[in-house]
């Protein structure tokens, strides 16, 4: 969307607005045409652009890695196959270094999270006006192309990891073992009366720590990518200020894009690593 047709504030708000679909106050279903309409739709509104790009990038990941798997041979790999094997070896080394249990799900899960999040993060390097402008020509008013700048996407992935953590905590330790883990630490005592006194304190501290895991996991990814997207949008505003500002904007955009590559990679790696650590804790007996 060209900044010439919008004020500075309007341009920023437009680029930060998701394509929301939900129920209007009058009971009809449809797309939101403003941020106010999106808020009125409430919790059950669906961000179609986040869903679309998440599914497309996930399907692209499966196709690319599936293609490499079909071409795998015992000979020395080259090209794309060599890159895929390098990624798999990288993930395998991290899983072996951080996970001491035995679970065949951890490595595939880590690979999926790392590559999928990385691909979603890389969409942040696409110039902010390109895809929204194409969508506008197609009659689509809003189009955010970076799913990880939507807290719904990051919370969804973090919630999935959290549910897996709960499942394996109960499966490995048993219901009573998991309950004991929440109530018998960090403060311990041999006196039965003192144990009872410490039980609610321990539960409060451990419960807060448990719930904080998915919240911090999702907000860390969302916050870093949202901030990066905001900087790209602010830099894009310079291109409407004349030739001199456009040149400055081009230099800043290139510099920030190069630096942002590190953030894109690092945030995917951190999300994957913390997932491995949380599942390792779920498999560990105290």
Nearest to 31 by CA among 113, 135, 106, 151: 135
Quick one: angle between helices 48-71 and 79-98, nearest 10?
100
Q: Inform me whether the pLDDT recorded for 166 exceeds 80.
A: yes
Residue 11 lies in a domain: no
What are the pLDDT digits (tens) for 170-189? Answer: 999 999 999 998 898 888 88
Say if residue 6's pLDDT is above 70. no
pLDDT more than 90, % of the chain: 75
> Is there a domain that residue 24 lies in?
no
Among residues 96, 224, 240, 284, the one annotated as catalytic is: 224
How many domains does the chain fold into? Answer: 1
The answer as to whether 80 is a domain residue is: yes
Residue 36 lies in a domain: no
Active site residue: 5, 82, 209, 216, which one?
216
The whole-number pLDDT of residue 172 equals 93
Range of the domain at 137: 48-283
Cis amide bond preceding 59, omega within 30: no
282 pLDDT band, cuts 50/70/90, is very high
Catalytic residue among 34, 152, 220, 240: 220
In a domain, 1, yes or no: no
Structure-model confidence comparison of residues 73 and 164, the more confident one: 164
Distance of CA 182 to the CA centre of its chain: 28
Tell me whether residue 26 is in a domain.
no
pLDDT, one tens digit per residue, over 236-249 is 999 988 889 899 99
Residues whose CB is less than 8 angstroms from the CB of residue 191 and which lie 6 or more positions away in sequence, other chains included? none
Residue 66 clears pLDDT 60, i.e. is over it: yes
Cα separation values, 103 from 106, 110, 172, 240, 272, Å: 6, 12, 11, 54, 16
Q: With a cut of 50, say whether residue 2 has pLDDT above it.
A: no
Q: Cα(54)–Cα(182) distance, rounded to whole angstroms?
A: 35
Question: Can 216 be counted among the known catalytic residues?
Answer: yes
Q: Which of 19-23, 74-78, 96-100, 206-210 has the lowest mean pLDDT?
A: 74-78
Residue 191 has pLDDT above 90, yes or no: no
């Amino acid at each position: 969307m060209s900044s010439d047709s919008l004020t500075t504030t309007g341009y920023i708000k437009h680029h930060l607005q998701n394509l929301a679909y939900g129920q209007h106050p009058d009971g009809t279903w449809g797309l939101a045409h403003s941020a106010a309409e999106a808020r009125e739709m409430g919790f059950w509104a669906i961000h179609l652009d986040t869903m679309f790009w998440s599914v497309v990038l996930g399907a692209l990941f499966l196709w690319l890695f599936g293609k490499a798997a079909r071409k795998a041979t015992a000979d020395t790999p080259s090209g794309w196959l060599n890159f895929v094997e390098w990624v798999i070896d990288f993930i395998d080394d991290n899983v072996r270094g951080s996970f001491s249990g035995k679970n065949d799900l951890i490595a595939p899960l880590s690979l999926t999270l790392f590559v999928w999040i990385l691909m979603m993060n890389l969409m942040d390097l696409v110039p902010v006006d390109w895809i929204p402008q194409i969508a506008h020509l197609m009659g689509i008013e809003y189009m955010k192309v970076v799913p990880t700048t939507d807290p719904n996407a990051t919370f969804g992935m973090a919630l999935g990891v959290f549910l897996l953590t709960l499942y394996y905590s109960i499966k490995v330790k048993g219901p009573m073992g998991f309950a004991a883990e929440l109530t018998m630490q960090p403060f311990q005592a041999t006196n039965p009366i003192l144990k009872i006194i410490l039980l609610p304190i321990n539960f409060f501290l451990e419960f807060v720590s448990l719930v904080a895991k998915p919240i911090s996991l999702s907000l860390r990814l969302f916050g870093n990518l949202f901030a990066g997207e905001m900087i790209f949008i602010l830099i894009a505003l310079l291109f409407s200020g004349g030739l001199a500002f456009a040149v400055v904007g081009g230099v800043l955009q290139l510099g920030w894009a190069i630096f942002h590559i590190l953030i894109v990679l690092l945030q995917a790696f951190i999300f994957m690593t913390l997932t491995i650590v949380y599942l390792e804790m779920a498999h560990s007996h105290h």
